[in-house]
Structure 1
């Protein structure tokens, strides 16, 4: 028998989903059409779970849903703080210390992002991905995940395959940026959470100790990255960061191939 409170939460969640316009999502969606609402299948695809698993959530079934899944639901539906808190507590999780859907890119920045023909995305101070263009989602699928975080991914086993010569060419620079940001924004609880997660990854604790000098003389240097849809061999790319004047809350990042003849299909 379903718990009445969870069943009621499921009804509210269904209403929130039906009110979410797919056109308002901050990145490409894995479906086509002109609907003005998200289906349960849409949610499942965006979350990376089965439709049956997501449907159980809306039915009010208690299946011990992972925190990452609930984070993704709150993010996809852009739930305001009170709704997000109800969702977290109703599924047995503590609400995040930061408001769900905090700082967001404005329409002008999103328009520029989606015009790009290079891998491009927008993230916040904690490197949570807020929006990604279609090219980025195609060549770096992890960017389109509901819980995508640049630093969490960059130190994962998956990243060490796509970021070639990872320890020598990528890890030091990325770790330097992460730890400087950690010092710069000590009140950012989400950033602290990301740092703690990264430091638990294999080999990172030792790397952290070896790279205390975060000065980087060639931080804009081209580095090898593998894109199987572009070329059979790694492509050297430069990572450029842009932002709104005087605004440190958002980063707009673009990957540009060193070779101007390389194009992202």
Structure 2
């Protein structure tokens, strides 16, 4: 990390500290005077380090700050996930995995429900959290209790709706599942999803094939055929768009959009 980046991170950290009132953070420690923010000494006392050592962090000095110290700073200042991730990476540490199950932003849910195409929210293990009315009508499995995108996508049922399943869908989805599984070795729910997917007919062989480990298994422009009997008598080419809230990596919003934008989804 360059000196300029470290110094900029230190400036942000000072601003985050000064925005944090002393009362909730200090707990049983006595607050000195009538202050409206935490001092560097307050932080050092709670972290169990010298004031000079903590001050070096805010000055952007390149030192070996322990992961425990950085986690303590995040906890004391109640940093948002994006702030905590920046502080971890800026001090040479991998950010912790965000906790699953954070409250959903009502604005995101409302936006997801307003779409005129299949639209749904899922978590990091592809468990479906919310789906709009269009999704429930054209992909009824999304509205079932306990629905999971990956376990459905590799089921015999899915291979009827996801046309050219093995060539156009399976390798791409399997790549994403495998990469997520490697990134989060302690995710018990994702482990469970992988076991269920691998148990589906033919998936074990696909898992071991070079195609599912390819960096970009999607042919062409990423459009894939999907069958919607209420929309058209033949399969429709669709693109699956994915995005998420800026400060919450645990939620992903998926939108299944037809390449032909004139198609109506009743």
> What's the counterpart of residue 252 of structure 1?
253
The answer as to whether partners of 1:165 and 1:224 remain within 8 angstroms in 2 is yes
Residues 198-217 of structure 1 mapped to structure 2, 5 A cutoff: 198-210=197-209, 211-216=211-216
Question: How many angstroms apart in 1 are the aligned matches of 2:227 and 2:162?
Answer: 7
> What's the counterpart of residue 50 of structure 2?
none
> What's the counterpart of residue 20 of structure 1?
none
Q: Which 10-residue stretch deviates more, 212-221 or 167-176? A: 212-221
Q: State the shift of 1:201 in Å.
A: 0.5
> What's the counterpart of residue 228 of structure 2?
227
Gapped runs of 5+ residues in structure 1? 1-100
Question: How many angstroms apart in 1 are the aligned matches of 2:190 and 2:225?
Answer: 27
- Change in Cα spacing, 1:217 to 1:142, as seen in structure 2 (3 Å) is closer
Q: What are the Cα deviations for residues 32-66 of structure 1, in whole angstroms up to 9, with x where unaligned?
A: xxxxxxxxxxxxxxxxxxxxxxxxxxxxxxxxxxx
Q: State the shift of 1:113 in Å.
A: 0.7
Q: What are the Cα deviations for residues 100-155 of structure 1, in whole angstroms up to 9, with x where unaligned?
A: x8234221110111111110000000000000000000000000000100000000
Q: What are the Cα deviations for residues 155-214 of structure 1, in whole angstroms up to 9, with x where unaligned?
A: 000000000000000000000000000011111110010001000001000000003523
Question: How many angstroms apart in 1 are the aligned matches of 2:146 and 2:214?
Answer: 27
The answer as to whether partners of 2:119 and 2:253 remain within 8 angstroms in 1 is yes
The answer as to whether partners of 1:104 and 1:130 remain within 8 angstroms in 2 is no
Residues 12-161 of structure 1 mapped to structure 2, 5 A cutoff: 102-161=101-160
Question: How many angstroms apart in 1 are the aligned matches of 2:205 and 2:218?
Answer: 23
> What's the counterpart of residue 8 of structure 1?
none
| Aligned-pair Cα RMSD in Å | 1.5
> What's the counterpart of residue 188 of structure 1?
187
> What's the counterpart of residue 62 of structure 1?
none
- Three-state SS of the structure 1 residue aligned to 2:260 is coil
Give the alignment's TM-score, normalised by structure 2. Answer: 0.60
- Three-state SS of the structure 2 residue aligned to 1:120 is strand
- Change in Cα spacing, 1:193 to 1:113, as seen in structure 2 (3 Å) is same
> What's the counterpart of residue 91 of structure 2?
none
Question: How many angstroms apart in 2 are the aligned matches of 1:144 and 1:260?
Answer: 25
Q: Which 10-residue stretch deviates more, 203-212 or 223-232? A: 203-212
- Three-state SS of the structure 1 residue aligned to 2:249 is coil
Give the alignment's TM-score, normalised by structure 1. Answer: 0.60
Q: Which 10-residue stretch deviates more, 216-225 or 251-260? A: 216-225
The answer as to whether partners of 2:119 and 2:135 remain within 8 angstroms in 1 is yes
Q: State the shift of 1:218 in Å.
A: 4.0
The answer as to whether partners of 2:240 and 2:256 remain within 8 angstroms in 1 is yes
